[in-house]
Amino acid sequence: MTTVVPGRRTRRQSELLDRLLTLFLEQGFSRFTLDDLAAELRCSKTTLYALAPSKEQLAVEVVKHYFKNATAQVESAVARQTRHDRRIAAYLNAVADALRPASRTFLDDVATFAPARSVYERNTRIAADRVRSLIEDGINNKTFRQVDIAFAAEMVAHTMQAIQRGDIARRTGLNDAEAYRELASFVLHSLRLD
């Protein structure tokens, strides 16, 4: 069996992770066995073992891959904005765009599998910290009205965590992407100077 070296992937392995990600986003991952995945991707189980030593760890690797790609897309969207009020909207809307391809099955699988849920929770905390810095930048540049930054950031963080847990979907019927779009609109309109 090939030894897994974190962070070092061949082009073929990266392509395989991308294909797994597409499959998992559409259908989730809990129902698949390694045999199913090997057949679906037309590769050997040994090839999959080169990515991770078990199906469970493979699911975590794919979820990490998803968030790594999503983070790059989100930060790219923010970098294209020069106005501070548009940066926070760009950030939250890009998060919504990144979540759009994720089926409810995928999100439910992530929520019920503790190691994958931990990856999502960690990324949600990082995203909440990033939103806090964007709020602070907007206040410092007088684009946003003066608010208690810690309180505003906590409100956003709690909403983001409720989205991640599926609470918002259950209570409102909004999927995660729609909820992030609504959050972007709410935050932007709440912080703008009159």
Task: Kindly report the CATH number assigned to the domain that includes residue 89.
Answer: 1.10.357.10
Per-residue pLDDT of 111-165, as tens digits, reads: 899 999 999 989 988 988 998 899 999 999 898 999 998 898 889 888 988 988 8
Per-residue pLDDT of 167-186, as tens digits, reads: 999 999 998 889 989 998 99
In a domain, 4, yes or no: no
Q: Hunting for tokens 């995928």 — which residue is that? A: 106
In a domain, 5, yes or no: no
Residue ranges making up the domain that contains 41: 11-191
**pTM to 2 decimals?**
0.84
**What is the SS3 assignment for 192?**
strand
In a domain, 2, yes or no: no
Per-residue pLDDT of 70-82, as tens digits, reads: 999 999 999 999 8
Residue 27's region, left for phi above 0, alpha for psi from -120 to 50, else beta, is: alpha
In a domain, 6, yes or no: no
Non-local (6+) Cβ contacts of 142 within 8 A are 193
Q: Hunting for tokens 């989205």 — which residue is that? A: 163
In a domain, 74, yes or no: yes
In a domain, 115, yes or no: yes
Q: What are the angstrom distances between the C-alpha of 184 and each of 6, 48, 94, 126, 132?
A: 34, 38, 10, 17, 13
In a domain, 1, yes or no: no
**Exposure b/e, 30-41, CB count within 10 A at least 16 = b:** bebeeeebbeee
Domain count for the chain, please give it: 1
Q: Give the pLDDT of residue 165.
A: 81
In a domain, 18, yes or no: yes
